Structure 1
Amino acid sequence: MNTVRIADYTLISQDCHEDGSGFAGFRRHPDVTGLGWPDDVLEQWLYDHAGNEAFLLDYADVDLAQITWEVEAASTDLLVETPTGDSDRDCIDEFAANPDHWIGVRHKGVHRGVALCWETHGTWKRWPVLIERSLLTPSAPGLQVVEGRTRIGILKGRHRQGDFVSAQHLVWVGRPRR
């Protein structure tokens, strides 16, 4: 497969947003299906953010065709230390400063049940998207939050406040194809 960059999906995403075909149209596009990514990752990263300037800067050089995805359980201790891209590096701490606010504003539509998930299970409703940092810089260790920065911020803030959080959380993790 040829090298594939996030910018390759900007117009496809924009067209699907504008023409009303939405995510269903996006995921059916031949350039999108060729990636073989899970729908949840496609939607959260490429459909929602292919035109996001910060994402275009932070992930411009990542060859998306070289990423394989798995659902993994990650510890709270690991996740509260996991950074996001340089363009939005402070946003996780901004969300962590007032986690109750960010939970409270997520109560309609697809966010219905977010507060209940935190209250009952001590975790999020939808799995965040992380990548192995070696995809960005070959010698970089650990993971980086691509999408789900609000969720990670809420976790970090709740953990710091001593609120109930689960010890483990499900996340999508992208790793280099071997």
Structure 2
Amino acid sequence: MERRQDGGLSFERFRSDPALTALRWPDAVLRDFLFDHGDNGTFADDYGNLDLTAITWTLETIPSADFHTMPTGESEVGLIEHFAKNPVHWVAVRAPEVGRHWENHGTWLRPPLLIDRGLLAPVSSGLQVLEGRTRVGVLRGRLREQLHVAAEHQAWVGRS
């Protein structure tokens, strides 16, 4: 899970690596998971033992309620709640279209990545936020502050 972005390798060249094309992952997942976070030490601690070839990714619609207590990786416990404390701020520091999308659609502009906890050690049930902790935190915070939130949200879900 080496991040090649810092080495000047473009995403286009990165995804053409035969080891990655064999995964048959959607570009959005490949970019957010391996290209952007592959060399992040804490991310690798949490997910470095995953058998990447055993994961199939699908774009799924998830009810808002499912995100209320959804955890993230062990190394970032509490991070989602940190973002939830000030959802307006975390949207304001993003590109303007992110805020417009929340206001108009009540959801994120780009689906986060969730993983079936049955793929993790120790094995558990349910889904876990793999990438998109800020987005999920904003969702929780907007719900708490009674701001516009859609009933369902799209997310990439990795399952065996």
Q: TM-score range by the shorter chain?
A: over 0.9
Letter in structure 2 aligned against 1:146: L
TM-score (norm 1): 0.87
CA displacement, residues 61-92 of structure 1 (integer Å, 9 cap, x when unaligned): 11111000111000111012111000001110
State the alpha-carbon separation in 1 of the partners of residues 68 and 32 from structure 2.
20
Q: Quick one: which of 77, 83, 106 aligns to 1:89?
A: 77
1:4 equivalent in structure 2: none
State the alpha-carbon separation in 2 of the partners of residues 153 and 99 from structure 1.
7
State the alpha-carbon separation in 1 of the partners of residues 54 and 22 from structure 2.
12
Mapping of 1:13-32 within 5 angstroms?
13-14=3-4, 16-19=5-8, 21-32=9-20
Letter in structure 2 aligned against 1:172: W
Q: Quick one: which of 48, 61, 69 aligns to 1:73?
A: 61
Mapping of 1:26-175 within 5 angstroms?
26-107=14-95, 112-137=96-121, 139-175=123-159
Identity level (%): 46
CA displacement, residues 113-171 of structure 1 (integer Å, 9 cap, x when unaligned): 10011000000000000000000036411000010000000000000111110000000
Provide the alpha-carbon RMSD of the alignment. Answer: 1.1
C-alpha deviation, 1:17, in angstroms: 3.2
State the alpha-carbon separation in 2 of the partners of residues 142 and 79 from structure 1.
11
| Runs of 4+ that moved beyond 3 A | none
Secondary structure class of the residue paired with 2:70: coil
The answer for unaligned runs of 5 or more in structure 2 is: none
Task: Go from structure 1 to structure 2 and tell me whether the alpha carbon gap of 1:83 and 1:73 turns closer, same or farther (over 3 Å shift).
Answer: same
Secondary structure class of the residue paired with 1:171: strand
State the alpha-carbon separation in 2 of the partners of residues 57 and 116 from structure 1.
35
TM-score (norm 2): 0.96
State the alpha-carbon separation in 2 of the partners of residues 121 and 147 from structure 1.
21
State the alpha-carbon separation in 2 of the partners of residues 166 and 54 from structure 1.
31
C-alpha deviation, 1:25, in angstroms: 1.1
